[in-house]
């Protein structure tokens, strides 16, 4: 359950996006004319705004590596209210839109947990406790309290924007050092910070529901460029919810479009738990 909670909290953080002040609203002319200021020669129209946002989103997507499969090795460091927890290594294998395979091990490489995730099921094999747990994927929503999908989990591993709908952007800000796209989905106010090179720099979420009071920040750092595509090799996540949760994911290696296997054999003596 500890690893399900960790996975759920990572999902929560990746959903995180927030609001800024100096924004441009889509539903109206972007620049309002002030009778006390110098007359504006051009007021961006709704069409101008939509074209700008569409171009920004297209440029951002063009930086993401196209793939059919993905594999990686990363070190995970995390802490909660009780302080820093033991580090572990995570080995990832992914077949797009089909399978996600995870192996969690200590620093010596001794495997303790293996997971197999499909669009509707998550299986957790605990080699230390000798147990197998099979649950619907949406059970992670109970932990993260976010209606994520299998596709969202893929984006988390790839460092892409999660639960971001370009058609639902309600405003944007263009600054010298970054662009920010704003949207809101239910009680979640979302923002996506994009660098001048069209890479995601930061995501943030603030919850307008005071009963839930969710807040998180996600940082994408140390991009590596290969053949015109970019990949963030360091992710830092800070969450304030019912618990305080910080996680760092440092990718030691990663590969696209290699031939992969997804071994997941359940020993007969392993006990099935709910």
Per residue in 116-136, pLDDT (tens digit) is 999 999 999 999 999 999 999
| Alpha carbon of residue 35 to chain centroid | 44
CATH C-level class of 2-27+44-273: mainly beta
Q: What is the pLDDT of residue 244?
A: 76
Domain boundaries, the chain: 2-27+44-273
Per-residue pLDDT tens digits for 155-190 = 889 998 876 777 778 788 988 899 999 877 667 777
DSSP single-letter state for residue 65: P
Q: What is the pLDDT of residue 124?
A: 94
Instruction: List the beta bridge partners of residue 38.
Output: none
Distance from C-alpha of 229 to C-alpha of 192, rounded to nearest angstrom? 19
Instruction: List the beta bridge partners of residue 113.
Output: 104, 126
Nearest-CA neighbor of 14 among 221, 203, 181, 206? Answer: 203
pLDDT at 240 > cutoff 80:
no
In this structure, the number of other CB atoms found within 10 A of the CB of residue 236 comes to: 17
145 or 232, which is more confident?
232
- Report the alpha-carbon angle 200-204-207, nearest 5: 155
Give the percent of the chain with pLDDT over 70.
78
What DSSP letter does each residue of 110-131 carry, written as one string? -EEEEEEE-SSEEEEEETTTTE
Task: Assess contact for 10 and 146: CB atoms under 8 A.
Answer: no
Per-residue pLDDT tens digits for 31-81 = 333 333 334 334 456 777 888 888 998 999 999 999 999 999 999 998 888
The CB-based long-range contact list for 1-8 (8 Å cut-off, 24+ gap) reads 3/104, 3/113, 3/115, 3/124, 4/122, 4/124, 4/135, 4/139, 4/140, 4/143, 5/143, 6/78, 6/247, 7/115, 7/140, 7/143, 8/140, 8/142, 8/143, 8/144
This prediction has a pTM of: 0.80
């Amino acid at each position: 359950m500890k690893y399900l909670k960790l996975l759920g909290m990572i999902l929560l953080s990746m959903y995180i996006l927030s609001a800024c002040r100096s924004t441009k609203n889509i539903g109206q002319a972007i620049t309002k004319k002030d009778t006390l200021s110098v007359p504006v020669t051009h007021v961006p129209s709704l069409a101008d705004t939509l074209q700008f946002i569409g171009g920004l989103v297209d440029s951002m997507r063009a930086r993401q590596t196209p793939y059919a499969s993905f594999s990686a090795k990363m070190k995970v460091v995390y802490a909660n209210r009780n302080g820093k927890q033991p580090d572990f290594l995570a080995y990832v294998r992914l077949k797009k839109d089909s399978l996600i395979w995870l192996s969690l091990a200590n620093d010596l490489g001794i495997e303790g947990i293996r997971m197999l995730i499909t669009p509707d099921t998550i299986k957790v094999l605990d080699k230390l406790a000798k147990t197998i747990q099979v649950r619907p994927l949406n059970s992670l929503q109970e932990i993260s309290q976010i209606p994520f999908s299998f596709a969202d989990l893929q984006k988390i591993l790839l460092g892409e924007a999660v639960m971001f709908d370009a058609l639902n952007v309600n405003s944007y800000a263009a600054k010298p050092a970054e662009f920010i796209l704003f949207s809101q989905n239910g009680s979640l106010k979302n923002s996506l910070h994009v660098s001048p090179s069209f890479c995601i720099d930061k995501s943030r979420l603030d919850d307008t529901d005071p009963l839930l009071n969710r807040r998180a920040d996600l940082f994408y750092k140390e991009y590596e460029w290969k053949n015109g595509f970019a990949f963030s090799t360091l992710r830092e996540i800070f969450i304030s919810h019912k618990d305080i949760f910080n996680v760092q994911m440092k990718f030691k290696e990663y590969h696209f479009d290699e031939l992969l296997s997804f071994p997941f054999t359940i020993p007969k003596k392993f006990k099935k738990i709910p």
